[in-house]
Amino acid sequence: MSGGPSGFHNAPVTRAFVLLTAALTIFFGIQGRSSAIGLSYQDIFKKLHLWKLITSVFGFSSTPELVFGLYLLYYFRIFERQIGSNKYSVFILFSVIVSSLLGILALAFLKDPALYVLASGPYGVIFSSFLPFYFDIPVSSRFRIFGI
């Protein structure tokens, strides 16, 4: 998969986002607290650990998630090159805010303090980047598997 020029050439927002995500994940991983990054009902509504709203957006909870997630963020840098750094930073900010609000609403709706912990990581940015990817990147080849 070719995503244009190699590296983070003309993609400073993506570079900063990838570096921040990698640094925060490695920092919590070294401390052995990578599984505690995710949001839970108790953290937000009972203990008021509001700092977890930020760490849960930028930190993955495992190394495979980190590798695959950073690869996707790196690949989606083509959108920053297409629309510019200012618009792409607004896109990232909007994706982070909407995904965080939806996660908080889900926790408030479920209200079970013991069972539900939301996955940590920039999944809002990753999955919202699939929409422009689907519409902007042309299909290179179509194929069928078992006639489907």
Domain boundaries, the chain: 12-136
- Report the distance separating Cα 80 and Cα 88, nearest Å: 5
Is the pLDDT reported for residue 122 higher than 80?
Answer: yes
Give the mean model confidence (pLDDT) for residues 64-91.
93
In this prediction, residue 107 carries a pLDDT of: 82
The radius of gyration of the chain's CA atoms, rounded to the nearest angstrom, is 17
d(CA 30, CA 34): 8
DSSP 115: T
pLDDT at 125 over 60: yes
Residue 94 banded pLDDT, cuts 50, 70, 90: very high
Is domain 12-136 in CATH 3.90.420.10, yes or no? no
Q: What is the pTM of this model?
A: 0.81
Say whether pLDDT at 23 is over 70: yes
